[in-house]
Amino acid sequence: YRFADVFARIERAPERVRPQLEALEGVAAVATRIVKRIRIPIEREDQPPIGVAVSIPDRGLPALNGIHLLRGRLPEGDEALLIARFAEKRGIEPGDTIPVILEKQQRDVRISGIALSPEYVCAIAPGSNVTPDDERFAVLWMRRRSLEAATQMRGAFNDAVLGLQPGANEQDVIDAVERVLEPYGGKGAMGRRDQASNAVLE
Q: Which tens digit of pLDDT belongs to each residue from 47-78?
A: 889 999 999 999 999 999 999 999 999 999 99
pLDDT at 132: 66
Closest CA to 140 of 99, 190, 200, 105: 99
CB of 36 closer than 8 Å to CB of 103:
yes
**Phi/psi of residue 124, nearest 5 degrees:** -130, 140
CA–CA distance, 37 with 51 (Å, rounded to integer): 6
Asked whether residue 101 carries a pLDDT value surpassing 80, the answer given is: yes
95 alpha carbon, distance to own chain's centre: 22
**Phi/psi of residue 189, nearest 5 degrees:** -125, 160
With vertex at residue 53, the alpha carbon angle to CA 50 and CA 58, rounded to the nearest 5 degrees, is 165
- Segment 33-55 mean pLDDT: 91
CB of 110 closer than 8 Å to CB of 78:
yes
Q: For residue 135, give every residue at least 6 positions away whose Cβ sits within 8 Å of its Cβ, in sequence order, or none.
A: 49, 86, 89, 90
**Of the given ranges (85-89, 116-120, 121-125), which has the lowest mean pLDDT?**
121-125
Q: Are strands 35-39 and 80-83 parallel, antiparallel or unpaired?
A: unpaired
